[in-house]
Amino acid sequence: MARHVVVVGAGIIGMAVAMRIRQRNWEVTILEAARPGAGASSAALGSLTPYSDHGCSLATRRIAELSVATYPKWITELKSLSGSDIDFDDSGLLELAIGKEEEAALRSSFSVLQGSNAPVEWLDADSVHQMEPNATPETVGAIYYKSEAMVDVTQLLVACERAILRLGCRIASATRVTRILESAGRIQGVETQSGTLRSDAVVIATGANLATIQGVPRIPIERVRGEVVEVKAVPGLVGRHLYSGDGFMTPRRNGRILLGSNYDVHVHGDDECPSTASARSVLRTLAATIRMVPAISSLQLQRTWKEWRPRTPDGQPVVGCIGPEGLVVATGFFGLGITLSPAIGEIVAEILDGKVSALADSLNPGRFFDGSQ
């Protein structure tokens, strides 16, 4: 009889995990409180950032490097399985230095990256404007992250859902898991608002909602705003994803541009609505991105939305076994969920097959329990 795993959460991490587990001949059921691709995944800009995400630890960066290197092959596989298009652009990312003060800080970051053999290049202002003519004239230089690609997240999520369904996974939407079931130190399944589901293993990939499931050891997870502003532009206004200070932008082939800015940590009781961006945050995002590309100010606003990103106290993801035998968590990805998803799918599948993943050792949840888990 095939082993059965319940994956809780159908964001990009949950679906990547389900795909790889299913390909190892497990029976897979995915339980999603809302709908596949909702939650933090829907508020991702689609930048694959092993180097420009300066909060990455060395261990997380190594996994991110591996993940980004496998992305083209993964995209090809998803297209074949799903029959869906997925726009993928590997022309690189520019982190702009606007003014001399930013240039000094960015050159310092560049030196560190160069010393670690990251695939980066320093560009002067003329080179930046040759690549991005609409970047602000006040740009004095940039780090060019040559390997940092971008993917259309909406298309990616649709393709993942179709792919795992065609592989034989089952997805139950609008199904909230309330607690895990265990007996004699082993996972027996989960309980939902509508009943019990038995399984040999459970993978928790619920992002910021980990604490809502009874029986899962309490990992400290902060909820951090992930907000997106979408504007409509003429295709080509921005050629690649751009980053400077608090602002981020990722263009789409259809002319839309996704804009984002820095994150706010959630304060309990404040702003509980998960899907509405405030006027203040939209203004902040627009200011941060207009500073990079002034022409953004004349574009038509299409929509705004927000979800919650999960972040741990040390800023690094949590991936590994915890609590009763057969329970695995994969959360705390903050702004790296899209970047890390193919690698995390492989790592969790290996863990469930009883293999030790040295790569993911530093992400083990035991670090939050003084080694006593």
What pTM did the predictor assign?
Answer: 0.94
Range of weakest confidence among 43-57, 260-274, 291-305, 345-359: 260-274
Give the number of other CB atoms < 10 A from CB of residue 267: 8
Residue 162 tokens, joined? 């179709």
Strands (E), the chain: 4-8, 27-31, 88-89, 93-98, 120-124, 139-145, 150-151, 170-172, 177-183, 186-192, 195-198, 201-204, 222-232, 241-244, 247-251, 256-260, 300-311, 318-321, 327-331
Q: 307-323 pLDDT, tens per residue?
A: 889 999 999 999 999 99
Note the pLDDT of residue 277.
78
**Residues 45 and 53 sit within 8 Å (Cβ to Cβ):** no
Distance, in Å, from the CA atom of 229 to the CA atom of 353, rounded to the nearest integer, reads 41
The CATH number corresponding to 222-311 among 3.40.50.1000, 3.40.920.10, 3.40.309.10, 3.30.9.10 equals 3.30.9.10
Residue 185 tokens, joined? 């130190």
**CATH, range 4-84+153-220+314-368:** 3.50.50.60
Range of weakest confidence among 123-137, 252-266, 327-341: 252-266
Residue 367 tokens, joined? 């670090």
- 282, 273, 278: which is closest to 247 by C-alpha? 282
Residue 105 tokens, joined? 């800080």
Q: Where are the domains of the chain?
A: 4-84+153-220+314-368, 93-144, 222-311
Residue 50 tokens, joined? 């092993």
What are the DSSP calls for 2-38, one per residue? --EEEEE--SHHHHHHHHHHHTTT-EEEEE-SS-TT-
Q: 159-183 pLDDT, tens per residue?
A: 999 999 999 999 999 999 999 999 9
Residue 244 tokens, joined? 């400077």
Half-sphere exposure at residue 52, Cβ-oriented, CA atoms within 13 angstroms: 30
Q: 192-236 pLDDT, tens per residue?
A: 999 999 999 999 999 988 989 999 999 999 988 888 999 999 888
Distance, in Å, from the CA atom of 225 to the CA atom of 280, rounded to the nearest integer, reads 13
Whether pLDDT at 254 is above 90:
no
Q: 272-302 pLDDT, tens per residue?
A: 555 677 888 899 999 999 999 999 999 999 9
- In a 10 Å sphere around its CB, with 0-12 CB exposed, 13-18 middle and 19+ buried, how is residue 372 labelled? exposed
